A and B are shown apart, each in its own frame.
Chain A
Amino acid sequence: MADPIVSFAAFEGSNATAVRIEPGDDARVLLPHLDRLTLVEVTFPAFRDGRGYSSARILREAGYTGTLRAAGDVLVDQVPYMKRCGFDDFVPNAPLDAAVVEKLSSLYPEPYQRTVDGKVPVWKLRHG
C-alpha cells in the first residue's frame, strides 16, 4: 500500500512522500524536498488550464525522478505534450483509448525543443 497523498498545504512540515499539487500551487516550493518524494500528482481540473505542464517540467528540471502523475481532465490528445513535460503516470477522469495514445505518442519523430523527456531536439540533430 503506497503512502497517502497529502495536499500541497499539508505537505510542508510533514514527512509525506507523496503530494498533490493543484494548478495554482507553485511547484518550486517542493524543490528542497525532492529526495523524499516518490509521487507527485499534478491535477488538471480542466484540460484547458495548462499550469500543470510548467509544474511538471520544473520538477523534472530540478532532478525529480519519482513518479509524476497527471490526474483529472486528462485527454488522449494532451498525453504526448504531458509526456514531453515529464509526466509518466496518468489517472484520467475518463479512460484513455490505449491504441490512440500509442499512435499519437509515436507520431512525432523528433521535436523542435529540448524539454525533459530526453528526446534530442532537431537543432541538435542538425548541428551535433
Chain B
Amino acid sequence: MYQYDKYDQAIVDARVEEFRDQVRRRMAGEITEDQFKPLRLMNGLYLQLHAYMLRVAIPYGTLSSKQMKMLGHIARKYDRDYGHFTTRQNVQYNWIKLEDTPDILADLASVEMHAIQTSGNCIRNISSDQYAGAAADEVTDPRPWAELLRQWSTFHPEFSYLPRKFKIAVIASPEDRAAMRLHDIGIELVKKDGVLGARIFVGGGMGRTPMIAPEINPFVKADDLLSYLEACLRVYNRYGRRDNAYKARIKILIHEHGADNYRADVETEFAHVKTLDLDPPLAELERISAFFAAPAFDPNASDDVDRSDPDFAVWLDQNVKPHKAKGYAIVNIAVKPTGGIPGDATSDQIDLMADLALDYSFDELRVTHAQNIVLPHVKKSDLYAVWQKLDAAGLANANLDLVSDIIACPGLDYCSLANARSIPVAQKLSERFADLDRQRDIGELKLKISGCINACGHHHAGHIGILGVDKKGVENYQITLGGSGAEDVSIGKIMGPGFDQDGVVDAVERVIEKYREVREGDERFLDTYRRVGNDVFKEAVYG
C-alpha cells in the first residue's frame, strides 16, 4: 500500500488547517453559506436533509486495517455508530456536526487519509478495480497509476472550478469491475509491444443523460499521461457548457462537439502542454509502484478447502473469487444483509473487518463500487475461520452479485436532491428474495436503485434498474432493463409506466420469474434480456 512521505503528509496537514480556518470564518459569520458551500464541498461536506454529511476519500478503494479502524472510530465518536460505503468506493457519515469536521479531518490525516475533492466541481477521488493486485487477469496493478493521478489532481489549481464534477477510473483487466466507461475519463491500462500505457475513454457518465465513453486515444505512454490529461481537462474547461448544470458534464461536450473534434482539440493542446515539462519521470511511477509490490505470499499455500460445512460451501462458491497466487483467494464481504441498508456498516463491523484484514489479508481491504468490502489476499486454509468470524458479525451473506446484492443511493431518507426513497425499496426487495436457493437459481443479477435522476445508485447500469421519481407529490418507481457497468457496458431501457413502492417490488419479481421461464441454458438475466428483448418482460408485468 502507498505510504505518505513528508510531502504528502504536509499537504494533507495543510488542508486540515485551511479547513479549520474556513469553518471558523463560517461560524463567525465572516463568510456566507453561499461562499462557504464550494469550500466545504471540496472537503466532501454536504448539507443534507437532516444534518451535514461528510464523505471521506478512499483513494482507489484501498485501505489498511489501521485506516479502516479510524473509519470505525469516526463513526463511533462523531456519528451514530455507523458509516455508509458508497458507489465511489468512499465512505459517508450522515450525522456530522459542522464544528466537529476539522477534528475529524485531523483524525483522518493521522492515518494518511482525507476528504479532499470528494465533492465539488473538481477532479474527484480516483476509483479503480477492487481486485487490483489480486486478480489473475490484470496486466498490471492499476493502483500506482491511480495514485499518480491522485497526486496530480490534488489541489490542481486550473481544474478546481470546472463546469461540473469530474470522475476518473483506472482499470487494468479485460473484465471491467469498476464501470470504467461510465466515468468522465476511463483509463484501461494495456500493453503494447511489451510496454504499459493508457487507453483513454472520455465522456461517459450516468445522471440524467447516460453516455458510454468513446475511446479518445488507444495508447498514451506513461510519461505522457499527465500532460495528456491536462490537455483533456483544459479543452473541457474551455468548451464545457456552463449555461445549464445538467448539460455541463464532459459527456455532453463530447456528444455535442463530437468525439473526433474533441480528440483533435486535445491533440493540439497536448502538443503545447507537452513542452511544459509537467510529467514526472518514470522513476516516480516506479517509486509509487514499489509500495504496491505483491505481499509475501506463502509459496507452499494449499489450494485445498474443506467444504464439509454446507453454509460455508455456499458462501465459498458465491463470495470467494480466484486469486492470482496459488493457495490464496479474494474474499468479498457483502455488506447487504437481508432487510438491511446497502453499504451501511456499524462501528463494530468496521472494526471486525479491519481485524480480519490484519490477521488474514496482509493488512489490506478494498471498498467496491457495489458497496461491498473485499479482503483481497486470504489464504485458502484460512477461509473457514474468516467465514466464521464474518458470520458471527452478520457479514456472511452469500449473495454477492445476486439479486439482493443491491446498489442503492441514500435517497430521500437523507439526500436533499432525491425525489424518492431508495433504501426501503432495497430493503423490501432483499426481503422478497431472502431465499438464498432462489437467488442462486436466478444467478447473477445486478439490481441498482436511484432515488432521483442523478443516478447515484447506478440504475442505468443495472441489469434491472429502479429510478425513483416524484409524480405529483407521490413517490413513483420506474424500471429499466438491460443495463451493465461491466465490459459489456450498456444503458438500461425504461420498461414502461412506473409503480408505487410495493408495486415495484412485485413488478421486479414478475420480471425475474419471466426470466426463469424463458432463459436458455445457463444464460444470465442480462443475456436473456438481450436475446428476447423488452416486450417479453413488459407483457409479463403489464399483461
Contact = CB atoms under 8 A, between A and B. Distances in A.
A15 interface: no
A20 to B, nearest CB: 18
A61 B272 contact: yes
A123 B238 contact: no
B7 A126 contact: yes
Nearest to A54: B237
14 contacts: A48-B38, A49-B161, A51-B242, A77-B22, A80-B157, A81-B155, A81-B157, A104-B21, A108-B14, A110-B10, A112-B151, A114-B276, A123-B284, A127-B287
A48 B161 contact: yes
A75 B34 CA distance: 12
Interface in B1-28: 5, 7-8, 10-11, 14, 17-18, 21-22, 25
Interface string B83-119: 0000000000000000000000000000000000000
A113 B14 contact: no
A97 to B, nearest CB: 8
Contacts of B35: 75
B120 to A, nearest CB: 10
A125 interface: yes
Given A54-B234, A112-B155, 6 more contacts: A26-B238, A53-B160, A61-B276, A108-B14, A114-B276, A126-B287
A112 B158 CA distance: 13
Nearest to B39: A77
A114 B277 contact: yes
A54 B157 CA distance: 9
A109 B14 contact: yes
Nearest to A73: B35
A122 B7 contact: yes
Contacts of A109: 7, 10-11, 14
Interface of B: 5, 7-8, 10-11, 14, 17-18, 21-22, 25, 30, 35, 38-39, 121, 151-152, 154-162, 234, 237-238, 242, 272, 276-278, 280-281, 283-284, 287
A123 to B, nearest CB: 4
B451 to A, nearest CB: 26
Nearest to B30: A97
Given A109-B14, A114-B277, A47 B38 contact: yes
Contact of A113 (B18, B25, B30, B152): B152
A109 B9 CA distance: 11
Nearest to B35: A75
Nearest to A109: B10
Interface of A: 23, 26, 47-51, 53-54, 57, 61, 75, 77-78, 80-82, 84-85, 97, 100, 103-104, 107-115, 121-127
Contact of B238 (A48, A54, A77, A80): A54
Contacts of B8: 122
- Residue among A84, A97, A108 facing the most chain B CB atoms (10 A cut-off): A108
A58 B383 CA distance: 56
Given A61-B272, A114-B276, A107 B17 contact: yes
A48 to B, nearest CB: 6
A67 B18 CA distance: 28
Contacts of B283: 127
Nearest to B25: A100
B155 A108 contact: yes
Given A107-B17, A108-B14, A50 B162 contact: yes
- Residue among B151, B158, B280 facing the most chain A CB atoms (10 A cut-off): B158
A48 B121 contact: yes
Contact of B157 (A47, A49, A53, A125): A53
Given A100-B21, A109-B14, A50 B237 contact: yes
Contacts of B21: 100, 103-104
Contacts of A100: 21, 25
Nearest to A53: B158
Top-5 shortest CB links A-B = A50-B161, A123-B280, A84-B157, A81-B157, A122-B7
Contact of B154 (A26, A75, A112, A126): A112
A46 to B, nearest CB: 9
A24 B408 CA distance: 39
- Residue among B161, B272, B283 facing the most chain A CB atoms (10 A cut-off): B161
Contacts of A124: 280
Nearest to B226: A113
B147 to A, nearest CB: 11
B507 to A, nearest CB: 41
B238 A113 contact: no
